[in-house]
């Protein structure tokens, strides 16, 4: 800005001109913006600043959502491990290995013979070509003694290319996820209460 008395350039924060000692008063906000803006450039408009803030807020929200999604995916990634091991055991015709992935509660309620019968009646399990899990969640449950419980949903593709809907219930036993129930379409492997 310029001193109104001598015309020399002064800082806007000074109250007295250092050259002529005349009082310096900023006439208007527009004068201040013109004085503080380099020649050949226009002052930044408030609309532009608000637009930039809006972009920053949206970008921040996207980053936070991405981090949250990654955390949820990472936190529930262990849920599918016993399922994948069991499906691989089914493919190898290793029913004992598949049965071993079931929870202690399941073993108490469902014998190996009943489990084998269920697998025999649901060929999508033993003849699975591929599988895809579309949702998974986990939490702590009072009924499970504060241990983790989980839920995984998806589909198993059999040898004919038919996708059979599947839902697994899981429980954490001694820090390891175990399958407590398998729900195939409308057929259900008994799930202990």
The pLDDT of 85-112, averaged and rounded, is 94
pLDDT more than 90, % of the chain: 32
57 in any annotated domain: yes
Q: Which among 28-32, 75-79, 99-103 has the top mean pLDDT?
A: 99-103
Assigned domain for 110 exists? yes
pTM for the whole structure? 0.57
Same domain assignment for residues 178 and 108: yes
Together in a domain, 87 and 178: yes
- Please tell me the predicted confidence (pLDDT) of residue 156: 92
62 lies in the same domain as 105: no
For residues 149 and 51, the answer to whether their CB atoms sit within 8 Å is no
Q: What is the pLDDT of residue 187?
A: 42
Residue of 69 and 91 predicted with greater confidence: 91
18 or 106, which is more confident = 106
Whether 100 and 58 map to the same domain: the answer is no
The proportion of the chain whose per-residue pLDDT surpasses 70, expressed as a percent, equals 72
Confidence band for 8, pLDDT divided at 50, 70 and 90: confident
In this structure, what CATH number is given to the domain that contains residue 122? 3.10.450.100
Q: What is the pLDDT of residues 141-159, one digit of tens each?
A: 545 455 788 999 999 998 8
Q: Is residue 15 part of a domain?
A: no
Count how many domains the chain has. 2
Instruction: Answer whether residue 178 shows pLDDT above 90.
Output: yes
Do the domain assignments include residue 8?
Answer: no
- Looking at the fold, whether 63 and 127 belong to one and the same domain comes out as no
Q: Which domain holds residue 160?
A: 78-188
Checking phi first, is residue 145 left (phi over 0); if not, alpha (psi -120 to 50) or beta?
left
Do 45 and 129 lie in a common domain? no
User: pLDDT at position 56, please?
Assistant: 77
Kindly state whether residues 48 and 132 are assigned to the same domain: no
Whether residue 91 is predicted with pLDDT greater than 50 in this model: the reply is: yes
């Amino acid at each position: 800005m310029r001193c109104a008395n001598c015309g020399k350039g002064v800082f806007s924060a000074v109250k007295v001109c250092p050259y002529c000692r005349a009082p310096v008063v900023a006439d208007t906000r527009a004068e201040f913006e013109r004085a503080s803006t380099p020649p050949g450039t226009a002052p930044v408009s408030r609309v532009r600043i608000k637009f930039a803030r809006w972009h920053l807020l949206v970008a921040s929200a996207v980053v936070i959502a991405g981090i949250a999604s990654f955390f949820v995916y990472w936190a529930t990634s262990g849920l599918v491990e016993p399922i994948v091991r069991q499906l691989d055991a089914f493919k190898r015709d290793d029913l004992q290995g598949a049965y071993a992935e079931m929870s202690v509660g399941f073993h108490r309620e469902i014998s190996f013979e009943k489990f084998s019968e269920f697998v025999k009646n649901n060929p999508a399990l033993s003849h699975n070509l591929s599988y895809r899990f579309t949702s998974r969640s986990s939490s702590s449950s009072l009924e499970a003694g504060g241990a983790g419980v989980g839920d995984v949903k998806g589909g198993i593709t059999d040898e004919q290319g038919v996708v059979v809907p599947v839902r697994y219930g899981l429980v954490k036993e001694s820090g390891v996820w175990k399958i407590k129930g398998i729900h195939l379409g409308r057929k259900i492997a008994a799930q202990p209460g």
